[in-house]
Amino acid sequence: MRKFLSFLFSILIILFFTTLANAHFGVILPSDDIIEEKDLKRITLKIYFMHPFEQQWLNMKKPKAFGVIFGEEKKDLSDALVNKKIKGQNTWEVSFSIKRPGDYLFYFEPEPYWEPAEEKFIIHYTKVVVQALGKQEGWDKEIGLPIEIVPLTRPYGLWVGNVFQGVVKVNGKPLPYAEVEIEYFNEGGKIKAPKEPYITQVIKADINGVFTYAIPKAGWWGFAALAEAPYKIKKDGKDYPVEIGGVIWVKAREIK
């Protein structure tokens, strides 16, 4: 009995630190990131909070805000969100009709997520850019999120091996030496990491908040710039720190 309890305790410890090591990502995945005249003009956007490489979904409350920016227009799409269950967890989905040429910036602000293993709340402000009908204009526009990755590389039309570069901004100002976590959306769990550090890539921005990463594989890649919020959130009578993240998703394709 004592040996069994010792074994069980060891397993719990392993699970605790495995959970602790996993990176969290807000996710927006459009059914297509580049819409041409021959393509369907109605896209579906899937909204998750998860561990993308390990394909582990986390329970996500309905986002506080979900919208799109097109040129000077900003439209709230929160009422169109539809709840979807994946592996018993709440996720969200919305359909959107493309009507004009240009770059569409989709974004969401989630409800704070309580992470008991790290004793903190997590808020990831997440965005993705969809280019439509040949007009490539607006992809580098700032949405004005509390923390945001502003792309310096056009975030679509990327080949494998291309470099993606962005600047991390907090309240509109570059964040020197910001830490950026990067994960591959490992659909179907087909890729197996040889060691744990391969799951989440970690890089640092420079003194101007600029980071650079060469994309090694086709598919969707998430970039999450992390910082601690200047405020805390109260839970059960105690104040806890808040991790804020600015996340952007980009897709790369193989040259064939």
* Helical residues (DSSP H) of the chain, grouped into ranges: 2-21
Please state, in angstroms and as integers, the Cα–Cα distance from residue 75 to each residue in 80, 209, 221, following that order.
11, 29, 26
pLDDT for the residue numbered 111: 97
Please state, in angstroms and as integers, the Cα–Cα distance from residue 70 to each residue in 26, 101, 103, 107, 250, following that order.
21, 10, 6, 12, 18
6 lies in a domain?
Answer: no
7 lies in a domain?
Answer: no
Give the residues of the chain that fall short of pLDDT 50. 1-21
Please state, in angstroms and as integers, the Cα–Cα distance from residue 125 to each residue in 63, 109, 224, following that order.
10, 5, 9
pLDDT for the residue numbered 40: 86
84 lies in a domain?
Answer: yes
pLDDT for the residue numbered 89: 97
3 lies in a domain?
Answer: no
39 lies in a domain?
Answer: yes
19 lies in a domain?
Answer: no
As given in the structure block, the two tokens for residue 139 are 């992809």
CATH number at residue 89: 2.60.40.10
pLDDT for the residue numbered 20: 40
The per-type count for the chain, helices as H runs and strands as E runs, is: 1, 20
pLDDT for the residue numbered 5: 37
13 lies in a domain?
Answer: no
- Looking at the 3D structure of the chain, how many domains does it have? 1
pLDDT for the residue numbered 256: 83
78 lies in a domain?
Answer: yes
pLDDT in tens, 106-117: 999 999 999 999
User: Minimal CA–CA distance to 214: which of 167, 162, 169?
Assistant: 162
pLDDT for the residue numbered 105: 98
User: Minimal CA–CA distance to 156: which of 83, 252, 67, 19?
Assistant: 252
∠ CA 185-130-91, rounded to 5°: 50
- Distance of alpha carbon 92 from alpha carbon 220, whole angstroms: 18
pLDDT for the residue numbered 14: 35
Decide: helix, strand or coil at residue 157. coil
CB 30 within 8 A of CB 153: no
pLDDT for the residue numbered 22: 73
Residue 245 belongs to domain spanning: 24-253
